[in-house]
Amino acid sequence: MTLEKVREMIANHLGKDVEEVLVTSTFEELGIDSLEIAELVMDFEDEMEVELVIEEPILTVGAFYEFLEKQAK
Amino acid sequence: MALKILSTGSFVPPLSLTNDELCGRIGIDSSDEWIVQRVGVQKRHISEDLFNWEMGTVASERALEQAGLTAKDIDFIVCATVSSEDSSPSTAAMIQQALGAECPAMDLHAACSGFIYTLETCAALLKMNYKRVLLVASERLSRIVDWKDRNTCVIFGDGAAALVLEEGDNYLASVLHSFGGDEVIKIPNYEGDRTFFKKDTPAPFIFMNGQETFKFAVGRMRTDIQEVLKRGEVEESDVSWVIPHQANIRIIDAARRRLKIDPERYVTNIDRFGNTSAASIPLALDELHRSGKLKRGDLLVFTAFGGGLSSAASLVRW
């Protein structure tokens, strides 16, 4: 899973252009609350066929990518 | 499979508080906008002077009245609850006494999946030749809510519902799952005298990891519905009504998007009652029944998920 792919999937989920979803973007800026982050995680679980457990708050797109990298190993 | 629903009844306590009224009464920093957007609750009923079993008794009387039966006609009472007033006697035993029934009575505890677990248990009892079974689901969640925790206290409500069941062939399929663990949802019991016990014990309030609860619920709702339809050899397009546990409108919406069932077929009343745990599905069923919208032959899917962790679904022909 590349950072580009993560940005693309988040952009698709939101119906936004990928240029608007930056690695530094916070989910708050993107208008995504914690339940929608959980739903995003579910989309990635389906895509990657792994189980992901949210243990700490994920605040930015970059942190979301790191979370996926760490958990998918 | 051995079951037919003869009648339904429900009861909620008279006090109904809107989000603004609740926030004002208990002094929490939240808003109607946040609660509606985040949970889908606009108001909930809260018991001021009725015990759990008293609410369950009224719901039972209404179900018996609709069936044209009396308490003496009931051969077993099973009550699904996570908020019993006492460890003993059971809520079912108190309801038995209040109704004047003369049959065995017991509680069943499977948190928010309690109604479907109890329905399965009642199907087994009916197969064992108990002729008529009273299923009650009754919750006074206001007794186990932390009213200082704005993230959880706005979700829940009090209420009860009951079904009179008889032997029949309308219970088409069911799936029940348990995934034991207390990391995601936990409701500790009150700890009394600590003369001997040395470990720390948590406060007796509902605890939930919101994001993991959400993931579990949406995932199980999707999978359990697909599984129960497959077992019942029924297509998603054949379903007349889906009555999901009313935990959070966001859970229902997320699962609804992942299934092919007509979105209009989902029954929701969380906006008016909040999450009433085991009582939420039969409460919604009773409303649907009394509104006249249910037709004979309709295919109903019940789906629930909650503490345990547990999840379940059942397929019933009306």
Report CB contact under 8 Å: A35, B219: no
pLDDT for the residue B191: 86
Q: Which of A33, A38, A39 sits opposite B38 (nearest CB)?
A: A33
A33 is catalytic: yes
Q: Is B305's pLDDT higher than 90? A: yes
pLDDT for the residue A71: 84
Q: What is the CATH number of domain B173-317?
A: 3.40.47.10
Say whether residue B218 is in contact with chain A using an 8 A CB cutoff. yes
Percent of chain B exceeding pLDDT 90 equals 93
pLDDT for the residue B1: 61
Residues of A in contact with B214 (CB under 8 A): 35, 38-39
Residues of A in contact with B254 (CB under 8 A): 39, 42
pLDDT for the residue B308: 94
CB B45 within 8 A of CB B12: yes
Q: Is B58's pLDDT higher than 70? A: yes
Q: Is B60's pLDDT higher than 70? A: yes
Report CB contact under 8 Å: B215, A37: no
Q: Where in chain B is the domain with CATH 3.40.47.10?
A: 4-168, 173-317
pLDDT for the residue B82: 96
Say whether residue B104 is in contact with chain A using an 8 A CB cutoff. no
How is domain B4-168 classified at the architecture level of CATH? 3-Layer(aba) Sandwich (3.40)
> Which stretches in chain A have pLDDT values below 70?
73
Residues of A in contact with B248 (CB under 8 A): 35
Per-residue pLDDT tens over the stretch B119-158: 999 999 999 989 999 999 999 999 999 999 999 999 999 9
Beta strands in B141-297 (DSSP E): 158-166, 171-178, 185-186, 207-208, 241-244
CB B197 within 8 A of CB B46: no
User: Which stretch of A62-66, B6-10, B53-57, B267-271 has the lowest confidence by average pLDDT?
Assistant: A62-66
Report CB contact under 8 Å: B214, A53: no
User: Which stretch of B13-17, B55-59, B184-188 has the lowest confidence by average pLDDT?
Assistant: B184-188
Percent of chain B exceeding pLDDT 70 equals 100
B23 is catalytic: no
**Per-domain boundaries in chain A:** 3-71
pLDDT for the residue B129: 84
Nearest CA in chain A to B215: A38
Residues of A in contact with B219 (CB under 8 A): 42
User: Which stretch of A29-38, B100-109, B272-281, B290-299 has the lowest confidence by average pLDDT?
Assistant: A29-38
pLDDT for the residue B259: 94
Beta strands in chain B (DSSP E): 4-11, 16-18, 43-45, 76-80, 105-108, 132-140, 158-166, 171-178, 185-186, 207-208, 241-244, 299-306, 310-317
| Check: complex ipTM more than 0.95 | no
Q: Is B269's pLDDT higher than 90? A: yes
Has domain A3-71 been given CATH number 3.30.930.10?
A: no
Nearest CA in chain B to A56: B211
The structure tokens listed for B288 are: 């649907």
What does the pLDDT average to over B22-27? 94
Please name the residue that has the structure tokens 């079904």: B163
Q: How far apart are the first and last CA of chain A?
A: 11
